[in-house]
């Protein structure tokens, strides 16, 4: 399991994946898609958006080939 120290995750999110985007940029796009799908299905989570975004980024970090 990768070291999930916040500084490591933060640095990883700044990694460029192409000329325009970082991993964080793509994570935000996916977060928006997830939020829209949850709303479309009338599903609501107790977690605040900020907390959910942090957990999503942590999930991506822990499950990526970094």
pLDDT of residue 65: 81
Name the pLDDT band for 2 (thresholds 50, 70, 90): low
The model's confidence at residue 4, banded by pLDDT at 50, 70 and 90, is: confident
Global pTM value = 0.85
* Confidence tier at 1 by pLDDT (50, 70, 90): low
Asked whether residue 66 carries a pLDDT value surpassing 70, the answer given is: no
What residues contact 1, with CB distance under 8 A and at least 6 apart? 62
Q: What is the dihedral of CA 61, 17, 25, 20, to 10 degrees?
A: 170
The model's pLDDT over 19-56, given as tens digits with 9 standing for 90+, comes to: 999 999 999 999 999 999 999 999 998 999 999 999 99
Closest by CA position to 65, among listed 17, 31, 32: 17
Residue 16 pairs with which residues in a beta bridge? Answer: 22
């Amino acid at each position: 399991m990768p070291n999930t120290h916040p500084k490591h995750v933060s640095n990883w999110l700044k990694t460029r994946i192409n000329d325009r985007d970082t991993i964080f940029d793509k994570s935000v796009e996916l977060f928006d898609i997830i939020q829209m799908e949850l709303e479309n299905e009338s599903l609501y989570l107790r977690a605040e958006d900020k907390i959910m975004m942090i957990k999503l980024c942590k999930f991506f970090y822990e499950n990526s080939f970094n």
